């Protein structure tokens, strides 16, 4: 792991216990393993993109990092300090260094506060001891940094008087006003219209350059993640299956799930031929996770061992980590079929080559 890491996660777990009815006291507790043994680090001034399908644990990781959730196990270090041990003053500082931006700006903007009040609010919370004039300057500067060219026209408006893009810019200004070192952006552009989305993304990239802010950028859209991030982490059901430099993951995907996910992404180019999406079935319930590798029921490469044991993290090349028993083989042969690799004995359809080109295995449906 790099010396420059601003944030480090080591074997982080977050399990949610499900509340059960009173009659079920004899039954063992049920858990959702929302984040299970995840490790990665983020360097200063870099953006780490976190992708994966709905429910795979992206938001939960963000909430753990910002201490909105207490982790079940593992360690999170921010600027060299274990965040679980932070007290009073340090905690306050941590909270201003670590800001969050959400998918729905309504979540972070109080509808009864004006733009000025919203953006100034964290200043009060963090008691930075500024004068009125300084506060006003800080708010105006943050609004300008967030791309509002004429803040004086905006400051007296309420959230419902703003467009979606403007609301998201106010949310960004609110995060910026305390000069954070780190921003967790959870699907910040998913609800925005296409024509304003690019503007908000470019703004975040500019701020990264200008103030060396680091980000976790959560999105389910891999093309957006590619545009935004320096490094990429791919999650599947609480497991971080692959991490590396963004283009490394996209050009040389190793994990069988990453390969399927990337193959399914639509490409805005009519000449692009649809690739085969090598995956079976649907995402299983996060409560009854499959034993062994949690991807095995859908994996085209799975062998008996995948049913029995959890795969360990393998570093296939410098900084490129993959959670799969066959990571080395897959890395060495990016285009070989499971059959050519002698793998996939658990997925008979694929072994027999019954899959038509461009077809997706539908396998067993259901949850």
Ligand X SMILES: Nc1ncnc2c1ncn2[C@@H]1O[C@H](COP(=O)(O)OP(=O)(O)OP(=O)(O)O)[C@@H](O)[C@H]1O
Return the number of the residue (59 or 258) whose C-beta is nearest Mg ion.
59
Which of 167, 6, 207, 218 minimizes the C-alpha distance to 98? 6
295 touches, from ligand X, another protein, ligand SF4, none (C-beta below 5 to 8 Å by class): ligand SF4
CB of 20 to another protein, least distance (A): 19
CB-CB contact of 106 with 160 (8 Å) = no
CB of 259 to ligand SF4, least distance (A): 10
Q: Is residue 293 within the footprint of ligand SF4 (CB under 6 A)?
A: yes
59 touches, from ligand SF4, another protein, Mg ion, none (C-beta below 5 to 8 Å by class): Mg ion
- Identify the burial level of 19 via C-beta atoms within 10 angstroms of its C-beta, where 0-12 means exposed, 13-18 middle and 19 or more buried: exposed
What are residue 292's DSSP bridge partners? none
Given 9, 38, 56, 119, the residue binding ligand X (CB under 6 A)? 56
Estimate to the nearest angstrom the gap between the alpha carbon of 12 and the chain centroid: 14
With CB under 6 A, what is the number of residues at the site for ligand X?
A: 13
Q: Is residue 226 within the footprint of another protein (CB under 8 A)?
A: yes
Stretch near ligand SF4 under the rule CB under 6 A, chosen from 110-118, 154-162, 213-221, 301-309: 301-309
CA–CA gap between residue 325 and residue 264 (Å, rounded): 23
CB of 118 to another protein, least distance (A): 19
Binding residues vs Mg ion (CB under 5 A): 59
* List of residues 6+ apart from 364 with CB closer than 8 A: 280, 281, 297
Interacting residues with ligand SF4 between 196 and 255 (CB under 6 A): 255
Label each residue of 146-196 as H, E or C. CCCCCHHHHCCCCHHHCCHHHHHHHHHHHHHCCCCCEEEEECCCCCCCHHH
Q: Is residue 197 within the footprint of another protein (CB under 8 A)?
A: yes
Q: What angle do CA 71, 77, 82 make, to 5 degrees?
A: 75
- The C-alpha torsion from 193 through 185 and 69 to 59, rounded to 10°, is 50
Q: Which residues contact ligand SF4 (rule: CB under 6 A)?
A: 255-256, 293, 295-296, 299, 301-302, 306, 311, 324-326
Binding site for another protein (CB under 8 A): 53-54, 163, 165-166, 193-202, 220-224, 226-227, 247, 250, 260-262, 264-272, 274, 277, 279, 282-283, 358-360, 362, 364-367
């Amino acid at each position: 792991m790099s010396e420059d890491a601003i944030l480090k996660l080591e074997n982080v777990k977050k399990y949610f216990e499900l509340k059960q009815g009173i009659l079920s006291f004899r039954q063992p507790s049920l858990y959702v393993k929302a984040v299970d043994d995840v490790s990665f680090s983020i360097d200063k001034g870099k953006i780490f993109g976190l992708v994966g399908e709905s429910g795979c644990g992206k938001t939960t990781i963000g909430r753990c990092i910002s201490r909105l959730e207490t982790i079940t196990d593992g360690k999170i270090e921010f600027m060299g300090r274990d965040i679980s041990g932070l007290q009073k003053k340090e905690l306050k500082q941590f909270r201003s260094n670590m800001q969050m931006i959400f998918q729905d700006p309504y979540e972070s903007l109080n509808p009864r506060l004006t733009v000025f009040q919203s953006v100034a609010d964290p200043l009060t919370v963090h008691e930075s001891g500024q004068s009125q004039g300084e506060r006003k300057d800080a708010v105006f500067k943050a609004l300008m940094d967030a791309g509002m060219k004429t803040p004086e026209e905006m400051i007296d408006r309420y959230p419902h008087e703003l467009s979606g893009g403007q609301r998201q810019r106010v949310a960004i200004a609110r995060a910026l006003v305390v000069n954070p070192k780190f921003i967790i952006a959870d699907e910040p552009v998913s609800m925005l219209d296409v024509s304003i989305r690019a503007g908000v993304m470019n703004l975040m990239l500019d701020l990264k350059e200008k103030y060396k802010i680091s980000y976790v950028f959560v999105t389910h859209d891999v093309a957006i993640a590619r545009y935004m991030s320096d490094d990429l982490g791919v999650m599947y059901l609480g497991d971080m299956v692959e991490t590396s430099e963004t283009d490394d993951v996209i050009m040389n995907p190793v994990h069988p799930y990453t390969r399927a996910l990337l193959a399914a992404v639509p490409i805005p180019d009519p000449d692009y031929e649809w690739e085969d999406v090598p995956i079976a079935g649907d995402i299983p319930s996060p409560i009854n996770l499959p034993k062994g590798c949690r991807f095995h029921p859908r994996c085209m490469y799975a062998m008996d061992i995948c049913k029995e044991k959890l795969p360990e993290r393998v570093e296939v090349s410098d900084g490129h980590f993959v959670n799969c028993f066959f990571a080395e083989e897959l890395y060495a042969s990016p285009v070989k079929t499971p059959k050519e690799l002698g793998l996939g004995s658990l997925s008979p359809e694929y072994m027999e080559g019954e899959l038509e080109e461009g077809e997706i295995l539908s396998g067993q449906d259901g949850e």
